[in-house]
A = this chain, B = another copy of it.
Amino acid sequence: MADLPDKRTAFMDWYLAVVDGAQLTDKRYPVKGMNVWTPYGFRARRNLDGVLVREIEATSSQAVEFPALIPSTEFAKEKEHIKGFDAQVYWVTKGGLTDLDVPLVLRPTSETAMYPIFAVWVRSHRDLPLNVYQIVNTFRYETKTTRPFIRVREIHFFEEHTCQANEAHATERVRSNLAAFRRMAAAFALPYLAIRRPEWDKFPGAFYSVALDAPIGEARTLQLGSIHHYRENFSRPYEIRYEAADGTQQYVHQTTFGLSERLLGAIVAVHGDAKGAVFPSAIAPYQVVVIPIPGTEAGEAPLATATEAAERLTRHGLRVHLDGGDDRPGAKYYRWELSGVPLRLEVGRREAESRSLTCVDRLGTKSRVALDRLEHEVPERLHDFDRALAARAQAAFEQSFSVARSIAELAGSTTVRLVAWCGSEECGHAIETGIDGALLGTPEEPLPGSFGAPGPCASCGATEGTRWAVAGRPL
């Protein structure tokens, strides 16, 4: 039960220790960057996926699933796209004992799998909009250092692909996705910024890309996902056309919305603390752990009461774990704090006799809950915990920005920086050099707090047409 590394000064060591300690994943699988979803980690993922499904389906999107293997001939149709991906895909070249005539790509993302089929699904304006999504694994031959959930080679991935009648409808879908993500992030208590990426950093083949970035301490950011407007960039090579009401043939405008298991990494990174992971109750594999505390005078009463409590809460629809193991209570507290369980109910002799349990939430708030009012009080405690967790994350978020007026001021940044930028690629790269990171782009939604007008470009000093840009060090 050694202390965790310090989150502030040794972030990545801390992160890896928490992910390991909470048993969210097993990294011992014999392929680098391909990890095992353990029972505990899988539960978190399932809950997280449930939020994504609920929110995207509320915006008239339907689940589908396309094959994992894409013929190289289809993969190569959009030129920018293949350029962006061909150095990082896995190639299937053999089936059984024979070489394949057409090699297959293991999907790194599914544009090139879906769009030949969209071309047959979309015929008329009555087929639009086409909004479909899938939750599948994607594959990237990652050459950088891999990190659980943050950078892996087999990626648990959510991707929505839509076809719209025109550019304005596609722009409207981007907005709808931004609103859906706001609701998803609220369930995860994750503050973030929606940032339009600069031209040189947009998705291969996109007209523009809006990324969803979370500050995760110091100047670090983690890209949680992205929303892209493709205009006709894919519909032309894949010939996705429809007959408009006026009888003319039109190309669709497309959008995509991608999220990944990084969300789980971000939940660990943002909410975690010196004791380990902290899960908001919507995601927590177990929302409540019940711990009986035996004692020489206590007899079987604590276990009986703990069992009753666990069963009642389970029947009430909560995710509950009864830890009736042989470890000392202190060891159990340590383990379930490390694992991020929102509420702990302790049941000793006193609690069993008084039918009043000790309740400690993962942020340390202690209270008592009457066994006979458990089904009412525990959801209330979870609600209070979620609010406190969201407030803590929001406060940290608001502290995570500061303004830099010049390139010189960017050196050694200990927060994400807001800089005035004239919009030129040259000045953008100068800013990136200054912070030893990336110019993430310009906010697509209002910034938290008020920072006034941007003033002159931090690089060239131009005063006309500058905008606030966000600079940081993406993980």
**Interface residues, chain A, CB within 8 Å of chain B?**
26, 28-31, 34-39, 42-43, 46, 62-69, 71, 73-74, 86-97, 104, 106, 113, 116-117, 120-121, 132, 137, 139, 141, 143, 154
Out of B67, B93, B106, name the residue touching A31 (CB < 8 Å). Answer: B67
**Of B26, B31, B66, B86, which contacts A29 at CB under 8 A?**
B66
Measured in the bound complex, the distance between the Cα atoms of B96 and A88 in whole Å is 4
Q: Which residue of B lies closest to A85 (CB)?
A: B96
Q: Find chain B residues with CB under 8 A from A64 CB.
A: 36-39, 42
Chain B residues within an 8 Å CB radius of A29: 66-67, 113, 116-117
B92 touches A106 (CB 8 A): yes
Q: Is the CB of A89 within 8 A of B96?
A: yes
With A64-B42, A97-B86 as given contacts, are A30 and B154 in contact (CB-CB < 8 Å)?
no
Residues of B within 8 A of A71 (CB): 30-31
Nearest residue, chain B, Cβ from A87: B96
Give which listed residue, B31, B42, B66, B117, contacts A104 with CB less than 8 A. B31
Q: How often does this chain occur in the complex, in copies?
A: 2
**Chain B residues within 8 Å of A132, by CB:** 39
On whether the beta carbons of A28 and B154 are closer than 8 Å, the reply is no
Q: A31-B69, A90-B92, A91-B93 are in contact. List 9 more A-B contacts (CB 8 A).
A: A26-B121, A30-B71, A30-B74, A37-B64, A39-B63, A42-B65, A43-B63, A91-B92, A93-B94
Residues of B contacting A121 with CB < 8 Å? Answer: 26
Asked whether, in the complex, the Cβ of B92 is within 8 Å of the Cβ of A96, the reply is no
Select one of B37, B87, B91, B104 contacting A65, CB under 8 A: B37
Once bound together, how far apart are the Cα atoms of A88 and B139, in whole Å? Answer: 21
- Residues of B close to A46: CB separation below 8 A: 63
CA A68 – CA B92 in complex, angstroms?
A: 13
Question: In the complex, A284 Cα to B28 Cα: how many Å?
Answer: 41
Q: Which residue of B lies closest to A113 (CB)?
A: B29
Q: Which of A73, A74, A139 has the most CB of B within 10 A?
A: A139
A96 and B143 within 8 A (CB): yes
Give CA–CA (A90, B25) in the complex, Å.
26
**Cβ of A189 to closest chain B Cβ, rounded Å:** 24
Residue contacts A-B, CB under 8 angstroms, 30 given: A26-B120, A29-B67, A29-B117, A30-B71, A30-B73, A30-B74, A34-B67, A36-B64, A36-B65, A36-B117, A38-B64, A39-B62, A39-B132, A42-B64, A68-B139, A69-B90, A69-B154, A86-B96, A88-B96, A89-B95, A90-B92, A90-B94, A90-B104, A91-B93, A92-B92, A92-B93, A92-B106, A93-B93, A93-B94, A96-B143
Chain B residues in 8 Å Cβ range of A35: 67
Other-chain contact of A36, B30, B37, B66 (Cβ < 8 Å) = B66
